[in-house]
Chains A and B, each alone.
Chain A
Amino acid sequence: MSASTDCMAAPDSTTDHSLVAAYRGGEERAAAELVGRHGPAVGRFLYSSGAAAEELDDLVQETLFRAFRRLDTWRGEASFRSWLLTIASNLLKDHVRSRKDRHIVSLDQHELRDSADPHADYAASETEERLRQELSRLPRLQREVFLLRAQHGSDYGDIATALGTTAGAARVHYHHAVKRLKELFG
């Protein structure tokens, strides 16, 4: 059996190339399309990495702004999304450093939505918060590899290119992260 997921291409990567080319040619609509396509993914990644929900808008905007300003540095070796998420990760690192304290939204601050099953929602939120906290305690590279793989479906080759490591090393980081995190679900 072969690891078919390793060959799994990032969705719409070809179109990302053409959109980036269109934007470089002066088409602003292409940029809006890229923002619509990857903005929510950047938000999920940042939130999972420890960003506070109320800061998400600003952080996503800053990530995309920095990415478009540095678009010349994306050569298409890694997928556009993986490249974007590494920018988000660097931004968050700088943001946390500048604030000197990591801000994780605690459960009592967390707004629960109206739901037909509030108990199930609460349990889901509790699990989510514990997972976020455990993720934030992981070494940075382990966290990035794990989120790129488990949350965004990137293959190890793509992750390795985006993070400047090897596919083998990325696989090892992933399994270390899994080993630590799955105790949550024991």
Chain B
Amino acid sequence: MSDCTWLSDRMPTVALGQGDWTADEVQHLSGCPSCRREWELVRATSRLGDRPAAEVDIPSLAQAVLHRLGRSTGPQRKWKVWRFAALAAAAALVGVLWTGRSEQPLPGSASAPIVAGLQIPLPELDELRPEELDSVLRGMDQPAPDVDTLETTDPGVMESPEPETVYDYWEG
């Protein structure tokens, strides 16, 4: 390998500050115009773009890249997207079930206006003091435990065949 080729291979190392010229190399450089021009070129290239690159805001860049990766559906983050989707679906299901349940008339609240309108005499309640009566009424307002209840008197919407049989029997 000639000295010029050797020097050419060494140039990036020295230009990037990862090594120094030896005395022999310095001597060759001073006497070889071709190597000197190449050295100027490599040295200028090693610094090219330092200023604009230094103006790139690295913390903001890292934040922006991570933000985009978080929203992307790339392979590295698919599991996170699926986990989030599963949680969202579960939350939606619970919400639907809860809403549906609360829209059903509760036995206590549904029956209260009917009972009030019927004017049925309840002498036991007449004997109660106001605070005892309040306690009983509060108890009636609590939701009943899960039991099968007949919420409608319309036989057309009954699903069980048994009440239909009773109805038919009534009608004769």
Q: Hey, which bits of chain A sit against chain B, CB under 8 A?
A: 1, 3-6, 8, 23-24, 28, 31-32, 35-36, 39-41, 43-48, 53, 56-57, 60-61, 64-65, 68-72, 113, 127-128, 131-132, 146-147, 149-153, 175, 178, 181-186
Contact = CB atoms under 8 A, between A and B. Distances in A.
B12 A44 contact: no
Contact of B61 (A48, A61, A181, A185): A61
Interface stretch (B42-50, B84-92, B129-137, B157-165): B42-50
B56 A128 contact: no
Given A40-B56, A57-B61, A150 B46 contact: yes
Given A28-B66, A32-B66, A39-B61, A44 B74 contact: no
B87 to A, nearest CB: 17
B138 interface: no
Interface in B52-66: 52-59, 61-66
A43 B52 contact: yes
Contacts of A41: 53
Contact of A186 (B10, B37, B52, B68): B37
Given A39-B56, A147-B45, A178 B38 contact: yes
B96 to A, nearest CB: 32
Given A44-B52, A182-B40, 12 more contacts: A5-B13, A35-B65, A36-B58, A39-B58, A39-B61, A48-B45, A48-B49, A57-B61, A150-B15, A153-B13, A153-B16, A181-B41
Given A3-B9, A185-B41, A60 B16 contact: no
B18 A44 contact: no
Contacts of A57: 56-57, 61
A77 to B, nearest CB: 19
Contacts of B40: 182, 185
- Residue of B18, B45, B54, B69 with most partner-chain A CB within 10 A: B45
Nearest to B34: A182
Closest 5 CB pairs of A and B: A43-B53, A44-B49, A47-B49, A69-B74, A35-B62
A64 to B, nearest CB: 5
B58 A35 contact: yes
B109 interface: no
B58 A40 contact: yes
Contacts of B16: 152-153
A132 B48 contact: yes
A182 B45 CA distance: 11
14 contacts: A5-B9, A23-B76, A31-B65, A39-B58, A44-B50, A44-B52, A53-B55, A64-B61, A64-B65, A65-B68, A68-B74, A69-B76, A113-B51, A149-B12
B10 A4 contact: yes
Contacts of A186: 37
Interface residues of B, number: 44
Contacts of A113: 51
B72 interface: yes
A45 B46 CA distance: 10
Contacts of B57: 57
Contacts of A127: 44
Contacts of B44: 127-128, 131, 185
